[in-house]
Structure formats: structure tokens, C-alpha cells
Amino acid sequence: MVFLSESPIALYWCNVANKINLFNNPNDRTNRRLSYDQLLFMLLFIYLTSETYAKIIRYREEQFYLDPNTREKKQFPSIEDPSTLLLSVIVPAYNEEKRLPVMLEECLDFLEKKLKGNPSCTYEVIIVDDGSTDRTTEVGLSYSKKYGCHKVRVLTLSTNRGKGGAVRLGILSSRGKQLLFADADGATTFEDISKLQDNLKQLINGQSLDDALALVCGSRAHLEKEAIASRSFFRTILMKGFHLLVWLFAARSVRDTQCGFKLFTRSTARLCFPNLHIERWAFDVELLYIAEYMKIPTGEVAVRWEEIEGDILVHFFSYLHILRRVFLLPLQFSNRYIALGYSEIRISKGETQRRNGLFVETWQRHPLSAVDLVWTEGTS
């Protein structure tokens, strides 16, 4: 009889099960093998419904941004192009017309002062409207008109992707040597980016920003006691369970994986973001999983943070979906079918193509009617 536990797919999870003493009688070979098979049968459905290949879905109109001063549509550059700025700030926003101006005022005021003090501190802010139903795009365009589209650009997504999907498309459209994503609610004090940049400089240790691999995470871990005191018991239990699963199956180098304030080099972005499977909440976990897997130097820096009124709470069933995705991470990467650094997209006919290591799968408005593979190109 052939047991599932003898297959290569089982290797990772069997090792994990042994480490956490999941099975009784670990020295009993027969019982252990049967226990492995019982576990694997439970995992089979989850595994078959998971995505091995990361896919980047981008509608044609999402390849362009609007210059509000000329009303001309221009094509976004690609993360595969050489950098032309020091810093790109990616701001994912969903129905944030009220809170976005506060964040942008703080962000742009800080960046403008830096630019005046040092002309080499060039920057761009990319606001990614994640399928909002309010005036988020119009608010973003008002800042693009004020500062110019060379500094502020708006990427309006045709459909809601989730925070991870919005961040990824913004990253893939950026020009900076350093890339930061920051939440639209302004919960993190923006000037704390200087702390992250100092830590990034230490991690790259004299290497070129264009070539070095490094990732720095803003952290609220120092505020954990205060957060627990203000949360309900149920939310605290859910978060504790989430952190435990993250530690067991994904990332161990960072205490606070969910702070929406992370800085990385361009090479790190090229390597990690085309390979993300998770597009909604907790995509950061997969980002850190890939970084650890590829041994990318990673830092964690305490930042100032405050709860902002109107923050979206994660629904209980969303937690279950998130936990499932975290649990699946090792499975999605254990078979080595994808080469990190490339996003190999399997087309319906089984064909796989590659160009400069970046894949952008562009669907028409009705995805099932036509699928073609195109490359996001253009000048900055």
C-alpha cells in the first residue's frame, strides 16, 4: 500500500508535526504513518484549492494614470525599469476620501521639506484606489494637480483587490530605489520613515540601493500591552491565535507583521511582490515568509502609532480565511515549482512565458472572455 506520507508534498508538514508533537506515540512507526495519512487527507482539499502560481491580474485601464493638469493619460513604468527616484510611497486606499487628506498632508509636507533640504531626496507618492465607491480617486487627483503628476500619481483599480493586491500593483508601478507602503488612515507618524531608512542603511552595509536586498518593518510591538487592554477578550484571543500560527508556519523574524509601514529596496520588491498569493489582509505574512525563505536581511523598528477612528475591523470569518492562507504558505512554496524572483503565470493552455522576470496578466473587463499576457512598459 502506498501512503500519502511517502510523497514529497508531505515532507514539510510531517516535519512540522513532529516538531510540535502533534501525534501520539511518535516512536511507533505504524501509528505515526497512519497519523500522517489522516492529517494529509484533511489537508488534501485545502491543498487542491490553493494556488501554486502567483497571478497578477491587471486590467488594461490600470496601466495608466491621469495627469489632471493636461487631462492626458500616461503609462505607468515598471518595477523592472531602472530607478529614477530615491523614494516611492505606496498608499493603498479603499473609501478613504475623509481620512486620506490628513495622511497626505503629513506625508507630503515631510517629503517636501526633505527635498528642499537635500535635492537628492526625490520622491513620488502613488495612491492606489482599490475600487472605492466614494471620491477617493478625486481626492488623490487634487493632490496630483497641486504637486504635479511627477510627484503624486493615482492608480485607480477597476475592481477591489484587497490591501495586498493594491499594494502590489502600486509597487510594480513605482520608480524609487526605496519603496514604502503606508496606510491611508495616517495611523503611523510619517516622519518615522527616517528611523526605517536609518535601519535600512545599516542592513545594506554600503551596498548600492539598487542592488541590495533589505526589508525594514515598522513595529507596534512596544504598544502591545496597551492594545490588549483596549481590545475585547474575543479579539485578543483571535489575534493571539493568529500570531501563534504566523510563528509556527510563516515568519519568525518580526514580532509585528501587520503594521502597515514597511520599507524595502527595489531589488527586494522585484523578488517578493510578483510572487505574493495573498491579496487581502495579512499579505504581509507572505511577504515576510518569502523574505525569510530567501534570507533577505530584515529589521524591525518601533514607530509611533495611534488607533484612528473608522478603522475597519476584520470579520470573524475573514480571520478563518486568513488563518487558512497562513497555514497554506509552506505548501505553496514547498514544491519549488516557482522560482522566486519571477512570477511564472500558467496560462489556460499550459503555456508559461517570461520577460525580464516580471509577469503581468492583463484581463479584459470580463475576465472569462479573453486572457492575454502583456508587459507593463512605459517611461516615467
DSSP secondary structure of 36-51: HHHHHHHHHHHHHTS-
Overall average pLDDT of the 121-149 stretch: 97
Confidence tier at 186 by pLDDT (50, 70, 90): confident
| Structure-derived torsion over alpha carbons of residues 43, 45, 47, 53, reported in degrees to the nearest 10 | -170
Quick one: pLDDT band at residue 83, thresholds 50, 70, 90? very high
Residue 1 has pLDDT above 80, yes or no: no
Mean pLDDT of 189-195: 94
pLDDT recorded at residue 360 = 37
Domain with residues 60-334, CATH architecture? Alpha-Beta Complex (3.90)
Beta strands in 223-347 (DSSP E): 261-265, 298-302
What local confidence, expressed as pLDDT, does residue 65 receive? 97
Ordered by start, the domain boundaries in the chain are 4-48, 60-334
Q: What are phi and psi of 23, to 5 degrees?
A: -105, 150
Whether this model's pTM surpasses 0.85: no
Nearest of 76, 92, 60 to residue 373 by alpha carbon: 60
Average pLDDT over residues 152-181: 95
Using DSSP, how many helices (H) and how many strands (E) does the chain show? 11, 11
CA distance 371 to 351: 12
Q: Check pLDDT > 90 for residue 198.
A: yes
Contacts of 266 (CB under 8 A, 6+ apart): 79, 83, 176, 177, 178, 179, 209, 210
More confident site: 304 or 363? 304
Bigger pLDDT: 12 vs 72: 72
Cβ 123 vs Cβ 190: under 8 Å = no
pLDDT-based confidence at 355, cuts 50/70/90? very low
Among 86, 306, 313, 79, CA closest to 201: 86
> Would you state the pLDDT for residue 275?
80
Identify the weakest region by mean pLDDT among 99-113, 204-218, 268-282. 268-282
Share of the chain above pLDDT 70, in %: 57
Render the burial of 138-166: b for 16+ CB within 10 Å, e for the rest.
ebbbbbbeebebebbbbbbbeebbbbbbb
- Region 32-36 average pLDDT: 56
- Please state, rounded to an integer, the average pLDDT across all residues of the chain: 74
* Confidence band for 325, pLDDT divided at 50, 70 and 90: low
pLDDT the model gives residue 359:
36
Burial (CB count <10 Å: 0-12, 13-18, 19+), residue 305: buried
Q: What tens digit of pLDDT does each residue of 301-321 get?
A: 988 877 666 555 555 555 566
pLDDT above 60 (res 22): no
72 pairs with which residues across the strands?
Answer: 67
Q: Is the pLDDT of residue 365 over 70?
A: no
- Quote the percentage of the chain above a pLDDT of 90: 39
3-state secondary structure of 374: strand
Q: What angle do the packed helices 100-117 and 136-147 form, to 10 degrees?
A: 20
Segment 170-180 mean pLDDT = 97
Residue bearing the bigger pLDDT, 349 or 156: 156
